[in-house]
Chains A and B, each alone.
Chain A
Amino acid sequence: MSHRSFVWFCLLPLAVVTAAFFLLPMVRLVVTSADGPQGLAGYLAILTEPRYRATLINTVLLAAATTLVTLIVATIAGMFLQRHRFPGRAVLIAMLTFPLAFPGVVVGFMIILLAGRQGLIGDITKLLVGEKWVFAYSIYGLFLGYLYFSIPRVILTIMAAVQKLDVRLEEAARSLGASPWAVQRDVVLPALAPAFVASGAIAFATAMGAFGTAFTLATNIDVLPMLIYTEFTLAANFSISAALSVGLGVITWFILALARSFSGDAVAAAG
């Protein structure tokens, strides 16, 4: 067997898997979506039909907010955890990264325990202000759940990136008169940009498509994955749910590509 054909041979399983689990269903999805009564106009319906459009905007906003807050929280925490040694540090890291293994259902369950009708927050606020705060079943509950879901993943990426930072760069900036804020702005954050893009992309994509948490909490939350589910199972609207699925994928891909090209310069320079 020549070297070349050996490489092709090794690629065969990949080709099979790609075809069976990726290409075929995708094609089927696209075909199904075009199959409905409206044909390709089903795609347009995502944007024109007010309920779909509101859901789409909701989902993107929720995912963007999740990404932003996750990055802020995880960067501060990751930087602190990587740079400081204190008793209990290992335990804290273990606790922060513990939710990694939880499926969305468990996360949803925990949000209900926290902010649901029998939740801890409700009990406390009842004692303090005489009113029971319940927000587990709203978009805020979902937001909290997504944070809980993404922060551990992002913290780990940021910690690895912080560990690779060259402390000498920060010292050089300080010797030139840079205040701690200026050092963060001019040296640390640019150097972390690739990690932000990589981990932010994962947080964003997860928040766009996560279903388990939404399903567990869902009473009155309109996000795309839930909409697809209801259209599919309850309304048996195959073509619309297929169009929504493709739309979800395309929009997520597009926003990630945008973020990447936006930060491309910073990433190239820091690389």
Chain B
Amino acid sequence: MSAIAGHGAAVRVENCGKTFADGTRALEPATLDIARGETLVLLGPSGCGKTTMLRIIAGLELPDAGGKVLFDGRDMTSTPIEKRNVGMVFQSYALFPNMSVAENIGYGLKIRGVPADERAARVAELVTLTNITGLENRRIDQLSGGQRQRVALARAVAIRPGILLLDEPLTALDAALRDRLRGELNRLLRALGITAIYVTHDQAEAMELGDRVVVMRKGAIAQIGTPRDIYFAPQSRFVAEFIGAANIIEAPLDRGELVLPGGRLPIGGDASLPAAVAMIRPETIGIVDVGTAALTGIVDSVSFTGNRQRIVVSGVADKPLTVDAPNLVKAKAGDRIGLAISAEAIRLLPMED
């Protein structure tokens, strides 16, 4: 393993914006610092500029004037990709159809003039590492989607890149395979100690893989933070709603309490405002006895998903609240139900956005 482990470079993206030739503004000038060995996830809806950011770091796209890309403090902005020593994994895998699996994996080494025997040894090591033993001599069109993904990954890390760039590497796979490969990928990235930048629009993937997550929106960075930060302390309504399920309610404030149709709800934050927008995660809402509950409402619907159940309660706030409840709670549509929400579970958001 140590033979494969890269050293991992620190990356700094400084003031990089991107306007395409046709005038499309894909990226607002943004600055990002990625530590050595860190896995940073770029997360956001389609068209928000994730791929553009990745391609700027890779050297496939030039940032607008004023933008800079630095690896370990060295300015790489005008260095072409072939001299940057970055590994890339594309969503479509982009494996060479005229080469076998082993030739694909060894291509970067061959280009670097690594002698054939040394190359074969490295390829064998990577084949084992990525679990594709026995496929070395196959042609690419004889592989399944999951196998192609592994070959693409092996090919990218074979050159011991300082930085590994992955653009939605799992999106083309079915859900079960995606889950399994996500786990494998996570272990591999940690084992290699490589600096990785991972693009996805799947928030579960982002949470599991990222040391930090960059949430992007319309070409701008909406928030950067650890998965926990992003999930529990979103700084905007967009981030709150994009990551996981969220109840967003608007209500007037009175002496530190939200005044709701279903009762009063104390908040932890700034109580001096006249009104507030608050986010409450569905799984942080407890179900309690109706008699003693501070908040009550009527069950609209119950959807049972096996390990949990999703209960929609109306009459509590300005719009129905979704509650993610344990599966043993007995509730049916039309029931009166009592809810408990602790002050820590409430996150105030800026009013407008």
Q: Which residues of A contact B (CB under 8 A)?
A: 166, 168-169, 171-179, 182, 186-187, 190-191, 266, 269-270
Contacts and interface: CB of A to CB of B under 8 A. Distances in A.
Interface of B: 58, 60, 80-83, 85-88, 90, 92, 94-99, 107-108, 111-112, 139, 155-156, 159
A178 B104 CA distance: 13
B309 to A, nearest CB: 44
Contact of A176 (B90, B92, B159): B159
Nearest to B21: A85
B208 to A, nearest CB: 25
18 contacts: A168-B90, A168-B92, A171-B60, A172-B94, A172-B96, A173-B96, A173-B107, A174-B80, A175-B58, A176-B108, A177-B85, A177-B112, A177-B159, A186-B96, A191-B98, A266-B98, A269-B99, A270-B97
Given A169-B94, A175-B82, A176-B82, 9 more contacts: A172-B90, A173-B96, A173-B107, A176-B108, A178-B82, A178-B107, A178-B111, A269-B139, A270-B97
Nearest first, the 4 A-B pairs at minimum CB distance are A176-B108, A168-B94, A190-B98, A172-B94
A191 B81 CA distance: 22
Contacts of B90: 168, 171-172
B86 A175 contact: yes
A168 B169 CA distance: 14
Contacts of A173: 96, 107
Most chain B Cβ neighbours within 10 Å, of A177, A266, A270? A177
Contacts of A168: 90, 92, 94
Contacts of B94: 166, 168-169, 171-172
Given A175-B58, A187-B96, A266-B98, A182 B81 contact: no
Contacts of A269: 97-99, 139
B122 to A, nearest CB: 13
B97 A176 contact: no
A166 B60 CA distance: 15
Contacts, number: 66
A175 B98 contact: no
B126 to A, nearest CB: 13
Contacts of B96: 169, 172-173, 186-187
Contacts of A171: 60, 81, 88, 90, 94
Contacts of A174: 60, 80-82
Contacts of A270: 97-98
Contacts of B139: 269
A174 B110 CA distance: 13
**Listed residue (B83, B86, B98, B156) with the most chain A CB atoms within 10 angstroms of its CB:** B98
A172 B99 CA distance: 13
A176 B107 contact: yes
B98 A177 contact: no
B97 A177 contact: no
A178 to B, nearest CB: 5
Contacts of B80: 174
A179 B82 contact: yes
Nearest to A187: B96
A163 to B, nearest CB: 17
A174 to B, nearest CB: 5
A186 B108 CA distance: 12
Nearest to B152: A172
Contacts of B60: 171, 174
Contacts of B58: 175
Nearest to B58: A175
Contacts of B111: 176-178, 182
